[in-house]
A and B are shown apart, each in its own frame.
Chain A
Amino acid sequence: MNSRTSPAIELRGASKVFRTPSGAPHTAVRDLDLTVERGEFVAVVGPTGCGKSTTLTLVSGLEEPTEGDVLVGGEPVSGIADDVGFVFQQDAVFPWRTVLSNVMAGPRFRGVPKQEARERARQWLTRVGLEAFEDRYPHQLSGGQRKRVSLAATFVNDPKILLMDEPFSALDVQTRALMSDELLDLWSGTGASVVFVTHDLEESIALADKVVVMTAGPATVKEVFEIDLPRPRKVEQVRLQTEFTDIYREIWSSLGEEVRITRERGAGHAA
């Protein structure tokens, strides 16, 4: 297969089985088929705990699939690829490094000379509006600022594949809207393909080209919705459009069912 024309990410019948501490197998995802085109922004929504995050760890190479294939750029994933970026739910910044040093970490790990790494890091800090905070330590920043540090630290490596695991779910609602806009802004022009996992349907529609609805766990793809809202988008404005509410209703009718199943199961466990 030609690696120029192949999709950015392709999962074919991928399954992942974990072993729980008690030794029993737990299937996180099963028979997953998913394609992400180059430069496409795909949001993955599903009930909580259904295995969305596992999808990302498979694509990133942090975990290997138990069955099936995971291809990035037409090649099967083996280990962690160079051009992958990952933004986690909780901030994974190094608390003992300053803001600047945190953003420099990626290039430095990859052997970029110190001077150049510092310059690139400063550029990205400026883009996320933290140039005045480069000497601060993470604990001196707000949650939103720390998230910006994570974003800068990820983008500075110039990833072709951007994996985001509910990156904004720990932020308050206003900050979250701001950050969503900021993400779209940072992403535009990079040509990176994004997989954005969230449980927030509004967020997914506002951001993505394609929304993938997952079933209750073990997760597999239930339905895929194309989002034809024009870009560039402003999250707060997009939400007010009538198309948005139509799409929302349509996807929710699919997602709501899975959420219900998950909740009933949870109640069953509790009883």
Chain B
Amino acid sequence: MRPDTAGAGAVLDKAPAAAGQERTLSRQRAARRRNYLVQGARVLVLVGVLGLWEWFSRAGIIDPFNFSMPSRIWHQIWTWASNGTAQGPLWVQVWATLYEALLGWVLGVFAGVILGIALGRVRFLADVLGPYIKVLNALPRIVLAPIFLIWFGLGPASKVASAVVLVFFPVFFNAFQGAREVDRRLVDGARILGASNRQITYQVVIPSATSWIFTSLHVSFGFALIGAIVGEYIGATKGLGLLVSASQGSFNAAGVYAAMVILAVVALLAEGVLTFLERRLFRWKPTESGDGR
């Protein structure tokens, strides 16, 4: 065994064991107390905001017709969930939106990653296509949604298309940047070890660009949802966006908020899945806080 591998933990449980243990325990207790405090404060903030909202609405300080109130929103969600919406069962709407967003996201990510890495690796492509991509990026892409509606009709295709254009650019730019910022030493090292250009792309550039790409995946899933919702809002036969526009059309403020709440839950769940995947994929990375503390 080498000296630099000797454990440091052995120091704690030796000589003045009792005092040391006591201190460790009290430190643990303090950490736990703080944790409870944070959680408790969080709940308190939520209850406070919702309570104030409810109270203001009931007391007539804000107009319940415009601003609705938490109890009504909850009631709306409950009605939708148990009796279905005017457009059909609630889960159909949720699934329609999720399906469009997911499909758009996957397509946009694929296109963005492949093009980003290709342009990051092949100087010629980057020089030729660079200005065009800049122009497309400068365009406010959400205005393409009505055009897609004309092109692809009321079905899911138009929503998928708007999700794709929203997702593509952040992913593309991150992949491009990631491919460009690869540590030169790693590339030189791999070349000396005998790697071909192809091997460098697949085994050096792509792995080291993944942390860049993953950063953009978090943001871009939100964009995919926006694309799907806006597409549905403009014209659709089902989906959460349709719920929003239908509720708005019937002056049902609670319906608009309820759709928003459902959307937020869906987005948070997707975020959770993504974080989980990221943890599995980046086991090779040092944890942020550092191991030695």
Is A142 in contact with chain B by the CB < 8 A criterion? yes
Q: Which residues of A lie under 8 Å from residue B250 when comparing CB positions?
A: none
The segment out of B142-150, B188-196, B265-273 that lies at the interface is B188-196
Q: Report the separation of the CA atoms of residues A106 and B207 in the bound assembly, to the nearest whole angstrom.
A: 17
Looking at the assembled complex, report how far the CB atom of B2 sits from the nearest CB atom of chain A, in whole angstroms.
6
Q: Which residues of B lie under 8 Å from residue A96 when comparing CB positions?
A: 207-208, 284-285
Q: Is B192 in contact with A62, judged by CB distance below 8 angstroms?
A: yes
Q: Which residues of A lie under 8 Å from residue B207 when comparing CB positions?
A: 94, 96
The segment out of A69-77, A80-88, A185-193, A216-224 that lies at the interface is A80-88
Q: Is B284 in contact with A60, judged by CB distance below 8 angstroms?
A: no
Q: Which residues of B lie under 8 Å from residue A110 when comparing CB positions?
A: 193-194
Q: Which residues of B lie under 8 Å from residue A97 when comparing CB positions?
A: 284
Q: Look across to chain A and name the residue whose beta carbon is closest to the beta carbon of B187.
A: A92
Q: Is A82 in contact with B194, judged by CB distance below 8 angstroms?
A: yes
Q: Look across to chain A and name the residue whose beta carbon is closest to the beta carbon of B185.
A: A92
Q: Report the separation of the CA atoms of residues A105 and B195 in the bound assembly, to the nearest whole angstrom.
A: 9
Q: Is B285 in contact with A60, judged by CB distance below 8 angstroms?
A: no
Q: Look across to chain B and name the residue whose beta carbon is closest to the beta carbon of A143.
A: B4
Tally of contacts, chain A with chain B, CB under 8 A: 67
Q: Is B194 in contact with A106, judged by CB distance below 8 angstroms?
A: yes
Q: Report the separation of the CA atoms of residues A153 and B188 in the bound assembly, to the nearest whole angstrom.
A: 14
Q: Look across to chain B and name the residue whose beta carbon is closest to the beta carbon of A105.
A: B193
Q: Which residues of A lie under 8 Å from residue B192 when comparing CB positions?
A: 60, 62, 80, 84-86
Among the listed B190, B199, B285, which residue makes an inter-chain contact with A95, where contact means beta carbons less than 8 Å apart?
Answer: B285
Looking at the assembled complex, report how far the CB atom of B184 sits from the nearest CB atom of chain A, in whole angstroms.
9
Is A137 in contact with chain B by the CB < 8 A criterion? yes
**Which of B183, B185, B194 has the most C-beta atoms of chain A within 10 angstroms of its own C-beta?**
B194
Q: Which residues of A lie under 8 Å from residue B2 when comparing CB positions?
A: 129, 145
Q: Which residues of A in the span 167-182 have a Cβ within 8 Å of any Cβ on B?
A: 175
Q: Which residues of B lie under 8 Å from residue A245 when comparing CB positions?
A: none
Looking at the assembled complex, report how far the CB atom of B291 sits from the nearest CB atom of chain A, in whole angstroms.
7
Q: Look across to chain B and name the residue whose beta carbon is closest to the beta carbon of A97.
A: B284
Q: Is A92 in contact with B189, judged by CB distance below 8 angstroms?
A: yes
What does the 1/0 interface line of B183-224 toward A look like (CB < 8 Å)? 101101111111110010001100110000000000000000
Q: Report the separation of the CA atoms of residues A193 and B208 in the bound assembly, to the nearest whole angstrom.
A: 33
Is A231 in contact with chain B by the CB < 8 A criterion? no
Interface size on B, residues (CB 8 A): 24
Is B283 in contact with chain A by the CB < 8 A criterion? yes
Tell whether A90 pairs with B185 under 8 Å between CB atoms, given A96-B208, A139-B285, A142-B4: yes
Q: Which residues of A lie under 8 Å from residue B208 when comparing CB positions?
A: 96
Q: Report the separation of the CA atoms of residues A92 and B192 in the bound assembly, to the nearest whole angstrom.
A: 11
Q: Which residues of B lie under 8 Å from residue A80 when comparing CB positions?
A: 191-192, 194
Is B286 in contact with chain A by the CB < 8 A criterion? yes
Q: Which residues of A lie under 8 Å from residue B286 when comparing CB positions?
A: 139
Is A144 in contact with chain B by the CB < 8 A criterion? yes
Looking at the assembled complex, report how far the CB atom of B124 sits from the nearest CB atom of chain A, in whole angstroms.
20
Q: Is B283 in contact with A88, judged by CB distance below 8 angstroms?
A: no
Is A140 in contact with chain B by the CB < 8 A criterion? yes
Q: Is A88 in contact with B185, judged by CB distance below 8 angstroms?
A: yes
Q: Is B191 in contact with A62, judged by CB distance below 8 angstroms?
A: yes
Q: Which residues of A lie under 8 Å from residue B4 when comparing CB positions?
A: 142, 144-145, 175
Looking at the assembled complex, report how far the CB atom of B43 sits from the nearest CB atom of chain A, in whole angstroms.
37
Is A157 in contact with chain B by the CB < 8 A criterion? yes
Tell whether A92 pairs with B188 under 8 Å between CB atoms, given A97-B284, A137-B283, A139-B285: yes
Q: Report the separation of the CA atoms of residues A120 and B199 in the bound assembly, to the nearest whole angstrom.
A: 21
Could you jot down 18 A-B contacts, CB within 8 Å? Answer: A60-B192, A62-B192, A80-B194, A86-B192, A88-B185, A88-B189, A90-B185, A92-B186, A96-B284, A98-B284, A106-B193, A109-B194, A109-B196, A137-B283, A137-B284, A144-B4, A153-B193, A157-B194
Other than the given A62-B188, A95-B285, A109-B203, 6 more pairs (CB < 8 A) read: A62-B191, A80-B191, A85-B192, A86-B188, A88-B189, A142-B4
The 10 A-B residue pairs whose C-beta atoms are closest, nearest first, are A92-B189, A106-B193, A139-B286, A109-B194, A110-B194, A109-B195, A86-B192, A96-B284, A137-B284, A92-B185
Residues of B with Cβ closer than 8 Å to A? 2, 4, 183, 185-186, 188-196, 199, 203-204, 207-208, 283-286, 291
